[in-house]
Amino acid sequence: CETNILYFFPMTRGNRTLTPEEEEDSQQHHNNTKAFPVLSFNFEHVRKPFEISLWILLALLMKLGFHLIPRVSHIVPESCLLIVVGLLVGGVIKALDSDASDTNSSVPVLNTKLFFLYLLPPIILDAGYFLPIRHFTENLGTILMFAVVGTLWNAFFIGGMMYGVCQIEAAQLGDVDLLSCLLFGSIISAVDPVAVLAVFEEIHINELLYILVFGESLLNDAVTVVLYHLFEEFSHAGTVTITDAFLGVICFFVVSLGGVMIGLIYGIVGAFTSRFTLHSRVIEPLFVFLYSYMAYLSAEVFHLSGIMSLIACGVAMRPYVEANISHKSYTTIKYFMKMWSSVSETLIFIFLGVSTVAGPHVWNWTFVIFTVILCLVSRVLGVVGLTFIINKFRIVKLTKKDQFIVAYGGLRGAIAFSLGFLLTDTHMKTMFLTAIITVIFFTVFVQGMTIRPLVELLAVKKKKETKRSINEEIHTQFLDHLLTGIEDVCGHYGHHHWKDKLNRFNKTYVKKCLISGERSTEPQLISFYNKMELRQAMMLVESGSLAVLPSLTSMQNIQPRDTVKQRVIPSISKRREEEIRKMLRSNLQKTRQRLRSYSRHDLMMDPFEEDLSEVKFRKQRVEMGRRVRLTETHLNVHNSLSFKGMLHCFY
C-alpha cells in the first residue's frame, strides 16, 4: 500500500525545525540578551490536526457556497461542483509546488487507506441504517440479479472487449494481456453507491427505481471484491486453472455471506447492549456507531465484504435499538450519521478532483475512448437483457422508462478509483487510472447533469412525500394477514408465509431478549400510533401557530398507562413521560427552579432556552388551557402529587 503520511502543504524548505533541546539551549543562551518571548510561532506542533480541520472546513464552506448561487446548483449536481473545486484546489497546490524538485508529490491524493477506512464507512452506515427495508426485501430478487449477474456481465464484457481492442496494432497497447484487461474490467464495472446517492438524492425519484439502483450499488461490493482479488492473484500467478475458477465461485459466497453474518452478529450484540443503557443515555449513540464500525473493520480483516457487513449490522440493530433508546439519542444518531456521511461525501469528491490534478497520467486515446463507450454499451445491454429475464418473475413489470433510468443511473465513482490506486505500480497502472478517472468524470458530469431533465422529460414517477397515516398502516397489516391466510389455504409457501413466520419468531423470541421493559411486547401498530401521536404533540408545542390541530379524541387519550399513585416514576413509560412533560410545561407558570449542581454528564436544558420557550408557550396559553382542561380530566394524575415535585422527578 502507499505511504501512510499525507503531506498537505509543501514542507518548508531550507529551515530545519529545531529539536526541543536545541530550542531550549538557544533560548537559554538568548536569555541574557533577549526578553522572554511573549509570542512564538510553532506550527509543526499542530500541523496534522490543523490541516485536517482546514480541509474539512473548506469542504463545508464550499457546500454552503453552492447554495448561495441558486441558478448553478439547480442545473449542476453538487458532486460535480465539488469535483471542480477539487480540481481548482489541486491546481493551486500544484502551482505553488511547481518549483519542487523532489519526486514525492506533496499534493494529497485520495489515499486508499484513507478512503476505505475513514471516508467510506459513514456513508454506507447512513445508507444501511435508514434503508427502506420493506421495499428492499420486496425487490431483493431483482436487486441481486442486477448486482451479481449484471456486474459479472459488465466485468467480463468490458475486460474481453478491451483485450480485443488492445490487439489492434494501431493502438500500441500490445503489452496489455488478457488478465490485466479483466482486472481493469472488474474495477470499472461496479456501480458506485456514493455517486448514486449524491445524484439520486437530488432528483427525488420514486422508491422503486431508487431502491433498485441503490441496492444494486451496495450489493455488488461482494462481487467486486472477489473479482478484484481473483484477477489480481491470477495476474501474478500467470495461469488460470479450473480449480481456481471454482474456488473463485466459492470465495464469492464466503465473502458475501460471511460479511452479512459478521454484520448480523455485531448488530445483535449492539441491540442487546442498548437494552441496558437506561442510566447512561448520553453514550447511547456511540454504541450504535462503534458497533457498526467494528463490524466493518472485522469484515475487512478477513477480506470479506465490509459494505455488506455494515449494512447487515445497521439493518439488524435498528428496530431493537430504536425501541430501547431515548428520543434524544434517536435524534442524535440520526443527525450525526447524516452529518458524517455528508462530510465524507464532500471530502471524497473534492479529493477526487485534487487527485486528478496530482497523479501521473498516461493518456491513450484509444484506450480511454473505448473504455467509456464500452461502459455505456455493456450497461445498457446488461440492464435490458436482465430485465427481460426478471420480468418473467415479477408481478409489477419494469417498463422501458424504468429500464432506461436504471441503466442511466449506473454511475462510477471513488471506489473504482481507490481500487485502481491499489494496483501494483506498473506502466499500465497509470494508464488504467487515467481511464478510470475519465469514466468517473464522464458518468458524474454528463450523466449526473442530464439525469434531472431526462427524469422530467420522461415523466418518471416522483417520490410520494406524504407521511404514512394510521389508516394506511392498519390497511397494510390487514392485507398482509389476509394474503397470508389465503396462501395457507392454498397450501402455498409464498412470500407472505415466510414473512409471517419471521415476524412471529421475532415477536416471541427475539424481541423479548433485545428490548428492555414493557416495550418488548408492544405490537407494531401501537408503537406506530404512539410515534405518530408523539410527533404531533411535539409539533403542536414547538410551532408557534395552531394551524394543525390534532383530533380532540386522540389528545384525550394521552395518559400514562398505569395510574400514578405515588412517586413511582419508572412505571410510566418514557413516551408518556415525554408527553406529560410537554403538556405540563406549556401550561404552568414556570417557577424559577433552584440551581442544581452542574454536571457535564447530565442532559439538562439550558436555562436561557427554557425562558425563551416559555415566552412562546405563554402566548399559546389561552388555547392550550382549554385543551389541557380537557386532557386533565383524563390524565390519571393524582392530586396528591404537587406539580413542582413532578417536574423535579422528570429532570
Which residues here bind other proteins, judged by CB under 8 A?
134-135, 138, 206-208, 393, 395-396, 461, 464, 466, 468-472, 474-479, 481-497, 500, 504, 521, 523, 525-526, 529, 551, 553-554, 556-557, 559, 561
Q: Which is nearer to other proteins, 67 or 464 (CB)?
A: 464
Cα–Cα–Cα angle for 316, 318, 322, rounded to 5 degrees: 145
Nearest-approach distance from CB 138 to other proteins, in angstroms: 8
Nearest-approach distance from CB 488 to other proteins, in angstroms: 4
Q: Give SS3 for 313.
A: helix
C-alpha span between 125 and 309 (Å, rounded): 10
At 464, give phi and psi (nearest 5°).
-80, 125
Nearest-approach distance from CB 500 to other proteins, in angstroms: 8
For 398, the grid coordinates are 419494469
C-alpha span between 619 and 544 (Å, rounded): 8
Q: Which is nearer to other proteins, 326 or 554 (CB)?
A: 554
Q: Which is nearer to other proteins, 215 or 259 (CB)?
A: 215
Helices (H), 458-599: 470-490, 495-505, 511-514, 524-542, 552-556, 574-585
Q: Are 308 and 263 in contact (CB under 8 A)?
A: yes
At 507, give phi and psi (nearest 5°).
-65, -45
Nearest-approach distance from CB 525 to other proteins, in angstroms: 6
Q: Which residues face 205 on adjacent strands?
A: 462
C-alpha span between 192 and 376 (Å, rounded): 15
Nearest-approach distance from CB 271 to other proteins, in angstroms: 22
Q: Which is nearer to other proteins, 446 or 539 (CB)?
A: 539
Q: Which is nearer to other proteins, 342 or 477 (CB)?
A: 477
C-alpha span between 423 and 432 (Å, rounded): 9
- Residue 595, judged by CB atoms within 10 A of its CB (0-12, 13-18, 19+), counts as exposed
Nearest-approach distance from CB 532 to other proteins, in angstroms: 9
**Half-sphere exposure of residue 641, counting CA atoms within 13 Å on the CB side?**
18
Q: Are 549 and 604 in contact (CB under 8 A)?
A: no
Q: Are 433 and 417 in contact (CB under 8 A)?
A: yes
Q: Are 89 and 359 in contact (CB under 8 A)?
A: no
Q: Which is nearer to other proteins, 213 or 312 (CB)?
A: 213
C-alpha span between 87 and 141 (Å, rounded): 40
The angle, 0 to 180 degrees and rounded to 10, between the axes of the packed helices 414-421 and 178-188 is 150
- How many Cβ atoms are within 10 Å of 211's Cβ, its own excluded? 21
C-alpha span between 419 and 228 (Å, rounded): 8
Residue 576 CB contacts under 8 Å (≥ 6 apart), including other chains: 558, 559, 560, 561
Nearest-approach distance from CB 481 to other proteins, in angstroms: 5
Nearest-approach distance from CB 564 to other proteins, in angstroms: 15
Q: Which is nearer to other proteins, 73 or 554 (CB)?
A: 554
Nearest-approach distance from CB 204 to other proteins, in angstroms: 15
Q: Which is nearer to other proteins, 97 or 138 (CB)?
A: 138
Nearest-approach distance from CB 109 to other proteins, in angstroms: 44
C-alpha span between 421 and 615 (Å, rounded): 58
For 423, the grid coordinates are 494496483
Nearest-approach distance from CB 626 to other proteins, in angstroms: 19
Q: Which is nearer to other proteins, 495 or 629 (CB)?
A: 495
Nearest-approach distance from CB 42 to other proteins, in angstroms: 60
Q: Which is nearer to other proteins, 493 or 651 (CB)?
A: 493
Q: Which is nearer to other proteins, 33 or 471 (CB)?
A: 471
C-alpha span between 377 and 179 (Å, rounded): 21
Nearest-approach distance from CB 558 to other proteins, in angstroms: 9
Q: Which is nearer to other proteins, 339 or 482 (CB)?
A: 482
Q: Which is nearer to other proteins, 610 or 632 (CB)?
A: 632
For 386, the grid coordinates are 436482465
Q: Are 462 and 419 in contact (CB under 8 A)?
A: no
Place of cell 415535585: 645
